[in-house]
Amino acid sequence: MKKIFLILMIGFVFACHSNKAENKFVGDWIEIMPVNKDIVQGVSLKEDGTASSIGMATLQYEAWRVENNQLILQGKSIGNGQTIEFTDVLDILDITPDSMALGKFGKYRVDYKKSRP
């Protein structure tokens, strides 16, 4: 009986820790555009694991999750009369309560600021 209780408690603590870790990602993230500050684009990450695009009509985010220090975004790319489903796996370079940096293959970096929790 003690083993079962211990296993359940460990599972509960792990689940709570995972949810807290992902909660820091929840919110509206706006890409910092140094070339043209009038362009507003980014992604809204919701607590239930759904996502939506900000300012990008042809790129429709639908879902998100965090695994192995990577942000995984899923959605649809719409354009030229066709719709293509995609999964984008981005390395989490840094995250604070009000900023996030993502990259891919060490080739590029995109900086975001949180506009709304």
Non-local CB neighbours of 56 within 8 Å, separated by 6+ positions: 41
Per-residue pLDDT tens for 41-87? 999 999 999 999 999 999 999 999 999 999 999 999 998 889 999 99
Q: Domains, the chain, ranges and CATH? A: 2-116 (2.40.128.280)
- Mean of per-residue pLDDT scores for the chain: 84
Name the phi and psi angles at 29, rounded to 5: -115, 120
For the residues 96-104, what does the mean pLDDT come to? 96
| 92 has a pLDDT exceeding 50 | yes
Query: To which H or E segment does residue 11 belong?
Result: helix 2-23
Per-residue pLDDT tens for 29-48? 999 877 777 889 999 999 99
SS3 49: coil
